[in-house]
């Protein structure tokens, strides 16, 4: 049984989580997260801890940001869009049991900004901002690092929030460059 309570968007997500692991959930009821839900999540964080596990889409990211702001120290689990997509629909409920288990095995915890090892210059040098392929590169790096896809500013924040080390960042960047080299070869 997972000790923390997993925060999901809806009932179908709860069903998918319970198929994959033994855990309890709190459902936000979609992106219209209200004060009562925040209160329950805060209480769960104080008592047992929480893992935020929302869909890898705009609404899921909105919920994740609200919770991260209101409940410091919450853990976060991420699925890639590919792992969460079925018949054009993106959601935790579409992920395989294995993908859910892997995401929960690789949760990330928020940390103070002062502990960040990654700088804006690191993102610039990796081609994750101000680069013609920046969005695609962030998607690939986010998947490798287990922090999902986001814009440049949010990517920087997630590197800090989830304590991405210089070593992890460099390894993911090296993999990205090796893949790009393979694609360029005839």
What are the tens digits of pLDDT across the range 49-97? 999 999 999 899 899 989 988 998 899 999 999 999 999 999 999 999 9
1-110: which CATH number, 3.40.1360.10, 3.40.220.10, 3.90.1660.10, 3.30.230.10?
Answer: 3.40.1360.10
Residue that has been written with the tokens 């049991």 in this structure: 97
What is the DSSP secondary-structure string of 1-52? --SSEEEESSHHHHHHHHHHS---EEE--SS---HHHHHHHHHHHHHT-EEE
**What is the distance of C-alpha 126 from the center of its chain?**
20
Query: For the chain, what are the domain ranges?
Result: 1-110, 113-186
Beta pairing partners, 86: 89
What pTM was estimated for this model as a whole? 0.76
What are the tens digits of pLDDT across the range 151-185? 999 899 888 877 889 999 999 999 988 887 777 76
Cα–Cα dist 132/74, whole Å? 34
Q: Is 69 helix (H, G, I), strand (E, B) or coil?
A: helix
- How many residues are recorded in the chain? 186
């Amino acid at each position: 049984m997972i000790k923390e309570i997993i925060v999901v968007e809806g009932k179908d997500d709860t069903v998918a989580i319970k198929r994959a692991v033994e855990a309890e959930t709190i459902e936000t009821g979609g992106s219209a997260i209200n004060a009562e839900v925040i209160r329950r999540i805060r209480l769960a964080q104080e008592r047992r801890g929480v893992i935020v596990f929302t869909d890898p889409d705009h609404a899921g990211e909105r919920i994740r940001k609200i919770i991260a702001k209101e409940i410091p120290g919450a853990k976060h689990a991420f699925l890639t869009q590919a792992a969460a997509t079925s018949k054009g629909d993106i959601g935790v409920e579409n992920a395989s049991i294995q993908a859910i288990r892997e995401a929960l095995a690789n949760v990330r915890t928020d940390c103070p900004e002062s502990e960040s090892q990654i700088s804006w210059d690191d993102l610039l040098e990796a081609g994750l901002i101000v680069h013609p392929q920046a969005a695609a590169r962030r998607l690939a790096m986010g998947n490798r690092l287990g922090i999902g896809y986001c814009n440049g500013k949010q990517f920087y924040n997630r590197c800090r929030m989830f304590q991405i080390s210089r070593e992890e960042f460099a390894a993911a960047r090296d993999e990205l460059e090796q893949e790009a080299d393979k694609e360029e070869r005839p």
